């Protein structure tokens, strides 16, 4: 449901607030902002029509007369505090063309549902947690996108809602047992049932008909709150949905993983906490993305080896390992860090620690490597030299200390070198870093000796030392003598 999602995204962004109806306005005690008023007169509502793009109103009571006026507003209309709505006001609001958001409306009587069903745009009711069969029947006449906050739907209400012709979003629904409603949702390109923790095979098949792959050119999104995934349910899902987001799934069986193996799929399992070698290999096999960016802090040796072997076998999914904190498998490290420049899913921005074997394997790799900007320790001079030889910016901002030989290797880099996590510099490290060709960030250095300062003062490139707290007079004088060294204003 791209159009509906675009509308919801815009409503969530502060940009809409800045450009829209809640732009700062000149107000005073005598001329308060009507957008923040608890009630609106017809005159105030008419004044609000002059605002561009969006209206977000604080009214707690809305008369039918004011609603008639506000219905003329062409942009997004959102009632931030309205908890009740009369059928007359609802009928008036339903005459507008654009979307209508009522986030605090908790009770939806059939009469109000019937009145709102005439709305041609999207109807957003996330505060409505219960829906009677009569109200669902009335809403079925609504033709635009529908967003409901219902947590439970009795079979009769679900069957009535299944008659709704527009896209339906049920993000808070806890269970789905109605085959009719599942079949209705299955007709959509985007399905949102983020709160549903279990699915039967029949319901999964209804939600994921294979015909959708051709109908929507494979772009069929599925957001589901599964906490368990039987293999037959996994097979039913992949048969008709290739963009699967199941953020609550903490583990996946070998059989379920095998069902998702070998084909194109973008699989996002942000909540995954365990992964067996067989499941890891299966989910790696195929094309698309296997996104487990929250997984960590490390993989077992067996699972790492199985994934590395599958990657080496040929075509494989892009695995997002940004949640890993530690790398212990040389084969896996080379497999994932060598995915140079392949986008955000190919990075390892969370890795803070690598073993000596991993450092050795990476240093010996012949191609380019993605960075490891979160490393807290770097003791391999060959690996430091490997990174220094690569083009582009080089960032090791989490290193708090470096040895002289590491400083010497990094100093050979040509370009921006970020070592802003260093707390201090030895004279020898300062001397070698002064030879660096390019910008050098040392903003974490708090104090510096006379000898180190004199060495660093010979720098030919720009040096940033914005965190320097104290320095002996001679050291400070040496640093000030080089205009390319930036110091805190208090030290200048």
Per-residue pLDDT reduced to its tens digit, 239-257: 999 999 999 999 999 999 9
The DSSP H or E segment spanning 123 is strand 123-125
* Cα–Cα distance list, 240 to 211, 221, 233 (Å): 7, 10, 12
In a domain, 481, yes or no: yes
Helix (H/G/I), strand (E/B), else coil: 224: strand
Contacts of residue 483, Cβ cutoff 8 Å, sequence gap at least 6:
none
Residues in the chain, pLDDT under 70: 1-31
In a domain, 478, yes or no: yes
In a domain, 173, yes or no: no
Tokens describing residue 126: 């996330």
How many residues are recorded in the chain?
492
In a domain, 442, yes or no: yes
Total domains in the chain come to 1
In a domain, 252, yes or no: no
pTM > 0.75:
yes
The confidence score (pLDDT) of residue 31 equals 64
Q: What are phi and psi of 152, to 5 degrees?
A: -135, 145
Enumerate long-range contacts of 441-444, CB under 8 Å, 24 or more apart: 441/397, 441/416, 441/417, 443/467, 444/397, 444/400, 444/419, 444/420
In a domain, 393, yes or no: yes
Q: Cβ–Cβ contacts within 10 Å for residue 392, how many?
A: 12
Helix (H/G/I), strand (E/B), else coil: 146: strand
For residue 297, is the peptide bond before it cis, meaning its omega torsion is within 30 degrees of 0?
A: yes
The confidence score (pLDDT) of residue 108 equals 97
In a domain, 407, yes or no: yes
Encode pLDDT of 433-445 as tens digits. Answer: 999 999 999 999 9
The confidence score (pLDDT) of residue 16 equals 37
Distance CA 303, CA 283 (A): 11
> What is the span of the domain harbouring residue 468?
376-492
Tokens describing residue 157: 């209400």
The confidence score (pLDDT) of residue 218 equals 83
DSSP per position, 423-449: ----HHHHHHHTT-BS-EE-TT--B--
Q: Cβ–Cβ contacts within 10 Å for residue 121, how many?
A: 21
In a domain, 348, yes or no: no
């Amino acid at each position: 449901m791209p159009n509906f999602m675009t509308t919801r995204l815009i409503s969530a962004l502060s940009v809409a607030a800045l450009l829209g109806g809640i732009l700062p306005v000149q107000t005073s005690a005598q001329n308060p902002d009507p957008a923040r008023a608890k009630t609106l007169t017809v005159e105030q509502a008419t004044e609000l029509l002059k605002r561009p793009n969006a209206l977000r109103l604080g009214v707690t009571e809305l008369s039918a007369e004011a609603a008639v006026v506000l219905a003329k507003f062409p942009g997004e209309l959102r009632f931030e505090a309205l908890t009740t709505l009369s059928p007359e006001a609802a009928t008036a609001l339903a005459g507008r063309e654009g979307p209508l958001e009522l986030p605090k409306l908790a009770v939806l009587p059939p009469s109000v549902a019937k009145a709102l069903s005439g709305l041609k745009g999207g109807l957003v009711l996330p505060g409505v947690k219960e829906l009677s069969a009569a109200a669902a029947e009335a809403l079925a006449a609504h033709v635009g996108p529908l967003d409901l906050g219902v947590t439970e739907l009795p079979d009769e209400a679900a069957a009535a809602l299944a008659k709704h012709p527009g896209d339906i979003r049920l993000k808070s629904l806890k269970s789905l047992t109605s085959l009719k409603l599942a079949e209705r949702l299955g007709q959509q390109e985007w399905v949102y049932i983020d709160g549903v923790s279990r699915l039967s095979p029949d319901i999964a098949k209804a939600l994921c008909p294979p015909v959708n792959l051709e109908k929507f050119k494979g772009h069929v999104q599925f957001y589901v709150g599964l906490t368990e995934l039987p293999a037959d349910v996994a097979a039913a899902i992949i048969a008709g949905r290739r963009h699967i987001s199941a953020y609550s799934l903490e583990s996946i069986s070998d059989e379920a993983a095998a069902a998702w193996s070998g084909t194109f799929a973008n699989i996002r399992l942000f909540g995954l906490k365990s992964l067996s070698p067989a499941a890891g290999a299966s989910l790696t096999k195929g094309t698309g993305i296997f996104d487990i960016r929250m997984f960590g802090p490390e993989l077992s040796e067996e699972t790492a080896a199985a994934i590395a072997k599958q990657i080496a076998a040929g075509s494989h999914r892009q695995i997002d390992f940004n949640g890993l904190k530690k790398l212990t498998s040389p084969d896996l490290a080379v497999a994932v860090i060598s995915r140079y420049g392949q986008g955000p899913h190919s990075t390892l921005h969370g890795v803070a620690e690598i073993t000596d074997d991993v450092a050795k394997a990476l240093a010996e790799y012949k191609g380019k490597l993605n960075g490891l900007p979160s490393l807290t320790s770097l003791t391999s001079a060959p690996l430091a030299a490997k990174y220094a030889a690569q083009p582009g910016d080089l960032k090791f901002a989490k290193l708090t200390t470096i040895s002289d030989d590491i400083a010497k290797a990094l100093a050979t880099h040509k370009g921006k070198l970020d070592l802003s996590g260093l707390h201090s510099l030895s004279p020898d490290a300062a001397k070698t870093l002064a030879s660096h060709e390019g910008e050098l960030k040392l903003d974490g250095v708090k104090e510096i000796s006379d000898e180190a300062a004199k060495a660093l003062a010979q720098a030919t490139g720009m040096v940033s030392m914005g965190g320097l707290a104290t320095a002996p007079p001679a050291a400070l004088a040496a640093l000030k003598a080089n205009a390319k060294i930036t110091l805190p204003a208090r030290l200048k």
